[in-house]
Amino acid sequence: MTNVNLTNYPRKKTRQIQVGKVLVGGDAPISVQSMTITKTSDVEGTLQQIYALAAAGCDIVRCTCNDAAAAEGLAKIVPRSPVPIIADIHHQYRMALAALEAGVHGLRLNPGNIRKPEHIKAVASEARDRNVPIRIGVNGGSLDSDLYEKHGGLTAQAMVESAQQELKYFEEVDFNLVKISVKASNVPLMVEAYRMLSEITDFPLHLGVTEAGPLPGGLIKATAGISTLLLEGIGDTIRYSLTADPIEEARAGRQLLESLGLRERKNVDLIACPSCGRAEVDVIEIANRAQAAFADKKLPLQIAVMGCVVNGPGEAREADLGIAAGNKRGHLFVKGRNVAVVPESEMVDALVEWATFIHEHGTDAALKRVDTTIAEREAAKDRNAALAEKGDDANHDHERIVEIRRTVSEK
């Protein structure tokens, strides 16, 4: 699968910075971020979560650095991490300095919590000398009280001004390795703030809906905000902020980018019909079993699970591989061509086996693997049987067409 931008909005060109080995901004792929929920002082536990996040598609991981024990933990975590590590700093600017000493690849500063200009500039100066980028992480829930009063509450203008103030402090010490976020838990407010910020700066933008909440509502809120902006060409790196296992954040971010054609597919894209009265199997149950079977397999294929053989192959003809139920058996098809018929109980196993073969040998080899005429003949039998149950004119369309023509002619 190639990266294809199907929107009317070209991606906005931003400056490019480097977080460890990951490029952010410019023409770099949009990256996925998440944050550990372990105590950073728990080195082994935190590393275990970092590796799990990386396996789920996370490009950059953030860890809290809220005390000396956390900073010391970072010194042990950073050299063993498979992805760049960003230290999350709140209130204590010395923790930022300690995190830099620990060798982190980036910092996140909340301008609503570290307010003294001399402290901000001290951190920026040290980061400049070490060539370490900083994210200005404006958060609607911790906006500077002066800006809150100035703008009469939490507004997009207030959040953007907060970011601009921080940038001025950075400019005073000649620091420009910056990316910016203006997150809010209110989706329209978040979208407005990022649109406004995108108009006035070319620094890379980190997208997110803060405190989106638990699944499924949090997933919907975050997707609504992040995808709206991405489809407008705004955004260089993203994070889902869910009240859930952070692995869910990484998976959601990766799947969103793949769905929008903004990242190469890394794992199976499972498409399935919503089921209906025609379905001859429990589509939901089979789709869930297929999802579980492919969960840990790195097979960048689109796979379809369809409930019947009437429309299934046609609706999913663009899938690399699919299966459609008919007469208590599954009709397997590759790029819309029937290749095999398997018992209902073996449908998921057959999908896994054929998907693995296609990934290793290609679609053409899969089609040459069998005599497709036999499978196509069996599929035709089941399709005809399904249609026969309803009759050739189940909707009485002949009579309806007569009435339609009479209605039109009586104008």
Task: Give the tens place of pLDDT for each residue, 325-374.
Answer: 877 788 888 988 888 888 888 999 999 999 999 999 999 999 888 877 76
The total domain count for the chain is 2
Whether residues 87 and 155 share a domain: the answer is yes
Looking at the predicted structure, is the pLDDT value of residue 116 above 80?
A: yes
Name the amino acid, one letter, at 40.
T
78 in a structural domain: yes
pLDDT for res 388: 61
Q: Among 259, 286, 319, identify where a domain stops.
A: 259
Return d(Cα 143, Cα 182) in angstroms, integer: 10
5 in a structural domain: no
Helix (H) or strand (E) run with residue 83 in it: none
Whether residues 233 and 274 share a domain: the answer is no
400 in a structural domain: no
409 in a structural domain: no
Extract the tokens encoding 75: 């010194």
Whether residues 27 and 168 share a domain: the answer is yes
Angle CA 314–318–321, to nearest 5 = 90
* Dihedral angle, C-alpha 92, 123, 19, 135, nearest 10 °: 70
Whether residues 38 and 115 share a domain: the answer is yes
- pTM recorded for the entire structure: 0.85
More confident residue, 354 or 407: 354
Report how far Cα 3 is from the mean position of its chain's Cα atoms: 15
395 in a structural domain: no
Whether residues 255 and 273 share a domain: the answer is no
Whether residues 215 and 141 share a domain: the answer is yes
Return d(Cα 12, Cα 384) in angstroms, integer: 52
Whether residues 291 and 380 share a domain: the answer is yes
CB contact at 8 A, 52 and 28: no
Whether residues 39 and 114 share a domain: the answer is yes
Looking at the predicted structure, is the pLDDT value of residue 6 above 60?
A: no
The CATH code of the domain that includes 325 is 3.30.413.10
Whether residues 187 and 323 share a domain: the answer is no
Whether residues 180 and 152 share a domain: the answer is yes
The CATH code of the domain that includes 163 is 3.20.20.20
Q: How confident is the model at residue 2 (pLDDT cuts 50, 70, 90)?
A: very low
Task: Give the tens place of pLDDT for each residue, 12-65.
Answer: 999 999 999 999 999 999 999 999 999 999 999 999 999 999 999 999 999 999
Return d(Cα 96, Cα 98) in angstroms, integer: 5
- Burial of 200: CB neighbours in 10 Å, binned 0-12, 13-18, 19+: exposed
82 in a structural domain: yes
Q: How confident is the model at residue 380 (pLDDT cuts 50, 70, 90)?
A: low
Looking at the predicted structure, is the pLDDT value of residue 225 above 90?
A: yes
Looking at the predicted structure, is the pLDDT value of residue 3 above 50?
A: no
Q: Among 259, 281, 314, identify where a domain stops.
A: 259
Looking at the predicted structure, is the pLDDT value of residue 260 above 50?
A: yes
Whether residues 188 and 44 share a domain: the answer is yes
369 in a structural domain: yes
Q: How confident is the model at residue 281 (pLDDT cuts 50, 70, 90)?
A: confident
Reported as half-sphere exposure (CB side, CA atoms, 13 A), residue 30 has a value of 33
Looking at the predicted structure, is the pLDDT value of residue 149 above 80?
A: yes
398 in a structural domain: no
Whether residues 60 and 169 share a domain: the answer is yes
Average confidence (pLDDT) over 79-98: 96
Q: Give the structural domain span for 325.
A: 269-390
